[in-house]
Amino acid sequence: MSMPFLLKSAVFVCLWSTTFGYFYSQSNGNDDKLCFCQLQGTIDDCACNVDTVDHFNNMKIYPRLNSLLASDYFRFYKANLKQSCPFWADDSRCAMKFCSVQSCDERDVPEGIKGFSLESPSFKYTKDAHEGGTIVDCGSDLNAELSYLNTSISDKAHQGFQLWADHDEAQDNFCILDDHQEGAEYVDLSLNPERYTGYKGDSAHRIWRSIYLENCFGSSKHKHSLSFIPYIPYTELSAGSGICMEERVFYRLISGLHSSINIHLCANYLLSEKKGFMSDSGVWGPNVEEFIRRFSPSETANEGPHWLKNLYFVYVVELRALAKAAPYLRNETYFTGQAQQDEELRNAIQDFLSVINTFPSHFNETTMFSGGVGSLKLKHDFREKFRNISKIMDCVGCDKCRLWGKLQGLGTALKILFSGKFDNATSLASDDKSEKLKLKRTEIVSLFNAFGRLSTSINRLEHFRKLMR
């Protein structure tokens, strides 16, 4: 055995002993202060419990979902990462090399993802229309002249049509889609994994402060001195506290997403990096000490375990959205132009959706926004606040964090649950292609990847449990 190997092993043992010793000194004889001691029992505002979700996710969902997300259809995502921040001067760009996003050459993106092939009847129709269409010959020059229809449309009219379409779409969407905007590019998510990039400090704290202050409560009286963000103490979120369910749900969704992101950063922490000009190599792995700092009761005024529980809440909400949209998702073509891969993916999705439908206690969205005229205004505010949060993502100074922030949005799931367009399972199961599609490919990719992030977070929690033991 070589000396370098022995030296590396000794360093690893030393680092592990230090981390374990820190945790042991914090928790030995004080089991009630462990990060996971309160992460059990019923999930608030749901009918299921933590143990049920753990088993269902880790045994059934996580392996299947990981396989789905590795397919071409789900790993290519189109987004605009060049939008300027609409709320404040963007003066805190992350300068670390790990913040950058590796965009892909469009030649590497399957043709079916970019659009139909040249041989497709649909493409041929739009191509002919774009070039001016065909004038019907009615038998004489006079008839041809009389029957001629000028199909040209001015640029100004096109802009007006787009404004109408955007307005109609905004009535149902809980986020702002930017895949059609100038500057949007395809990104291969497998080449840009979500992990710790070094983006932190005032810029990152300002993002989270803005996100939390967009919630229904709008109060900054609750401010944790360590996390630099306003939050609602768990004791004030009970059903009898005067906070309506819709407001509780809003806060728990934001808190759960925040917890999920923090878990990913702790599970994929930059442990070391190679020094050198423009070197992008590094070693990532779990950082137990960082996890304890972010979630242990002693470091978070006893709130950390409740933040972890909010992760389970947002997981159950997105799980319900997938179950509700299952009849629609079963009829999607998931077309990339690669026949064999497309067929395998469709079969895998059928299996995945069947498993989701076996979950025993789905979230009941019908208990929300059901109180008459007042609930309509609350629903409008609910939607507008989430749309505003999607704008805040354009203020994130780290491109990779901005990318995954857009992907972790709840917009598609909330659209499925609350737009009303997915309430009729019979119409969703129809394979009538003349009906206008209710979900764009970008929305489907975002929905599955967002749920994939939550599924991975819950799986990583089990890994941290084992490390801490």
Residue 30 lies in a domain: no
Residue 297 lies in a domain: yes
Query: 221: burial class by Cβ within 10 Å (0-12, 13-18, 19+)?
Result: exposed
320 carries a ligand binding annotation: no
Residue 36 lies in a domain: no
Residue 271 lies in a domain: yes
258 carries a ligand binding annotation: yes
208 carries a ligand binding annotation: yes
**What pLDDT is stored for residue 229 in this prediction?**
61
Among 46, 104, 395, 398, the active-site one is 398
Residue 37 lies in a domain: no
Among 99, 266, 395, 401, the active-site one is 401
State yes or no: is 398 an active-site residue: yes
Are the C-beta atoms of residues 423 and 325 closer than 8 Å to each other?
no
361 carries a ligand binding annotation: no
Spatial distance between the Cα atoms of 397 and 203, rounded to a whole number of angstroms? 7
**What pLDDT is stored for residue 463 in this prediction?**
93
**What pLDDT is stored for residue 153 in this prediction?**
59
Spatial distance between the Cα atoms of 201 and 95, rounded to a whole number of angstroms? 13
From the list 41, 44, 39, 48, the residue with the least C-alpha distance to 320 is 48
Are the C-beta atoms of residues 268 and 196 closer than 8 Å to each other?
yes
| Pairing mode of beta strands 269-273, 185-188 | unpaired
Spatial distance between the Cα atoms of 286 and 141, rounded to a whole number of angstroms? 78
In this prediction the pTM is: 0.80
How long is the chain? 469
Residue 455 lies in a domain: yes
95: containing domain: 50-115+174-218+225-423+438-468
Residue 139 lies in a domain: no
Spatial distance between the Cα atoms of 228 and 273, rounded to a whole number of angstroms? 28
Q: How many domains does the chain have?
A: 1
- pLDDT tens digit at each of 469 positions of the chain: 444 444 334 433 343 333 333 333 344 434 334 677 678 888 988 889 999 999 999 999 999 999 999 999 999 998 888 888 888 876 566 767 788 888 788 888 998 998 754 344 443 323 333 333 333 333 445 444 445 555 555 666 655 555 555 555 556 787 777 777 777 889 999 988 888 888 888 888 888 888 887 655 544 455 444 455 667 888 888 766 778 888 889 999 999 999 999 999 999 998 887 654 444 577 889 999 999 999 999 888 889 999 999 999 999 999 999 999 999 999 999 999 999 999 999 999 999 999 999 999 999 999 898 877 778 888 888 888 888 888 888 888 888 888 888 887 688 999 999 988 898 877 777 766 445 667 889 999 999 999 999 999 999 999 999 888 7
